Amino acid sequence: MVVATVPDKMPCEPFVFRSPDGNELCCLMRENTHKGRSLMMFSRDEARSWSTPVDTPWGLSGDRHMGVYAPDGRLVIAFRDRAPDSPTSGHFVAWVGAYDDIRAGRPGQCRVKLLHSHAGSDCGYPGVELLPDGTIVATTYIKYREGKEKHSVVSTRFKIDEIDGMLPVRCQVN
């Protein structure tokens, strides 16, 4: 069954996760023509039907989304950045924000460049895990060094408080 078709766009590589209350599914999708933003759609009936796909907020535009809820309820979603005119396009980034930010099309709290790709936009297919102590581990394949070295599988780890410490103001999550 095809659940998402969008004229002049090619949705693929879905990442589906639940709202904090468990009553809704959100599906983030890569937009494979890379002519605009990524796509999102929602289901309130356990994926029997979906809303019409719409553009994500700019900060969530990318490929191969994967994420977790941080201990404080914020989402941390890692992906290959493909946002139009982004200074980190092609690199491995994470978006931090509330589920309601996605639902309302708001930008979220921040985006963080996790790893630099030395192979253009050839990175991604991440895994993201939340460890019992609150550490978030984001793993991807990436060419993280200049030179003849090939791609490697690389993990980076952080706590959400470390991200907060880099920001001028922490947003409250409702």
Q: What is the pTM of this model?
A: 0.93
Single-letter code of the amino acid located at 14 = P
Would you list the DSSP string of 8-41?
Answer: T--EEEEEEEE-TTSS-EEEEEEETT-SS--EEE
pLDDT of the residue at 173: 43
Is pLDDT of 120 > 50? yes
48 domain-assigned: yes
The answer to whether position 156 is within a domain reads: yes
Instruction: Compute the mean pLDDT over every residue in the chain, rounded to the nearest whole number.
Output: 93
Tally of CA atoms within 13 A in the half-sphere of 140 that contains its CB: 31
Quick one: average pLDDT of 15-25? 98
Say what the pLDDT of residue 60 is: 97
pLDDT in tens, 37-87: 999 999 999 999 999 999 999 999 999 999 999 999 999 999 999 999 999
Number of domains in the chain: 1
Do residues 27 and 46 touch, judged by C-beta distance below 8 A? no
- Domain membership of residue 4 (yes or no) is no
Predicted confidence at residue 124, as pLDDT, reads: 86
Domain assignment present for 5: no
Using pLDDT thresholds of 50, 70 and 90, give the confidence band for residue 168. Answer: confident
157 and 137 Cβ atoms separated by less than 8 Å:
yes
Whether residue 2 is contained in a domain is answered as no
> For position 5, what pLDDT does the model report?
85
Q: What pLDDT does residue 138 have?
A: 98
Residue 18 lies in a domain: yes
User: How far from 9 is each of 12, 60, 119, 128, 168, CA to CA, in Å?
Assistant: 10, 16, 25, 27, 37
Q: Tens digit of pLDDT for each residue in 129-156?
A: 999 999 999 999 999 999 999 999 999 9
Query: What's the CATH code of the domain at 43?
Result: 2.120.10.10
Residue 111, strand partner residues: 95
Reply yes or no on whether the pLDDT at 171 is more than 60: no
Q: Which domain holds residue 18?
A: 11-166
Residue 91, pLDDT > 50, answer yes
20 domain-assigned: yes
At residue 106, the pLDDT reads 97
Element (DSSP H or E) covering residue 164:
helix 160-166
Nearest to 65 by CA among 100, 24, 111, 21: 111
What local confidence, expressed as pLDDT, does residue 170 receive? Answer: 52
Q: Both tokens of residue 131?
A: 């460890």
Q: What is the pLDDT of residue 85?
A: 92
Residue 79 forms part of a structural domain:
yes
Largest CA distance in the chain: 50
